[in-house]
Amino acid sequence: MLEASHVTFKIGDKALISDVSVSFAPGKLHLLIGPNGAGKSTLIKVLARLLRPQAGRVEYESVDVRTASEPELARRRAVLSQAVEVAFPLTVREVVMMGRYPHFGGRPGPVDERITDEVMELCDVSEFSARNYRTLSGGERQRVNFARVLAQLWRDRASDLQVSCRYLFLDEPLTFLDIRHQLEFMKKVRALAEATDLVTVGVVHDLNLAARFADRIVLLNDGRVVSSGTAAEVLTTDRIREVFGVDTTFVPVEQGGIHLIFD
């Protein structure tokens, strides 16, 4: 369980998020939506402890996240960012292996090697394992980084007792993906998020993708939580007009979901 209570983060006098209280349960996919500048990425960074809020607290399983040491936190919290630039020639496998860095001291052990192979297989990047990361397309890079992030959170079925939750944050992961890769990515995340010890929080821009894949949606505006709940609860014509400034028509789709058309 991840809980933020009365969190405020400011730069100078400007509050990027103010008095945000929200909680995220394991085993569910939570997606943050909101217009540009609503504070989605800031909230992700505060939740992941990259940014320290001036007020309020963030708790992982009722323990204040400020008390965790860096290496300890890195073993159970991972963040997939928008675009990762690599400064020097690195092979794809070297980039994925970085996800295991918090788990070994000097050199990777056999478990780290095996996990790296597994996540590369899962993310369809095994075939370019030896390629230079910098020669990859945006979509390929994103898959490599997703594999790296999964490697960081991967638990060895045999050796690890699942004592504490793992936390996966996705900061606008779809930005550089085409429609097919967006869908493939969301399906993969959807499947992973069902793990009972995994808390998954992501930021997406596409309201239809959010409505289709999220278990819970958190709608942010001006650094505050406007509404949270299921897609049907959060996405109403009035709210979308108020927050995004567009008019919406809802079309029911066969699978029991909704589709939004904007005017």
Q: Is 78 in the site for another protein (CB under 8 A)?
A: yes
Contact between 143 and another protein by CB under 8 A: the answer reads: no
Instruction: State the DSSP string of 46-71.
Output: HHTTSS--SEEEEEETTEEGGGS-HH
Considering the complex, state which of residue 98 and residue 192 has its C-beta at the smaller distance from another protein: 98
CA distance 24 to 30: 7
* Interface with another protein, residue 81, by CB under 8 A: yes
Distance in Å, CB of 113 to another protein, minimum: 11
Terminal-to-terminal C-alpha distance of the chain: 38
Residue 155 near another protein by CB under 8 A: no
Contact criterion met (CB below 8 Å) for 105 and 116: no
Question: Does 131 help bind another protein (rule: CB under 8 A)?
Answer: yes
Determine the size of the site formed for another protein (CB under 8 A): 34
Q: Binder to another protein among 1, 50, 63, 179 (CB under 8 A)?
A: 50
Nearest to 145 by CA among 101, 74, 85, 205: 85
User: Per CB under 8 A, does 164 bind another protein?
Assistant: no
Binding flag, residue 109, another protein (CB under 8 A):
no
Nearer to another protein, 95 or 193 (CB): 95
Question: What is the distance between the alpha carbons of residues 48 and 54, in angstroms, rounded to a whole number?
Answer: 15
| Phi, psi dihedrals of residue 69, rounded to the nearest 5° | -80, 160
Nearest-approach distance from CB 191 to another protein, in angstroms = 23
Determine if 152 is a binding residue for another protein (CB under 8 A). yes
Name the token pair of 232: 């049907």
Q: Nearer Cβ to another protein, position 152 or 200?
A: 152
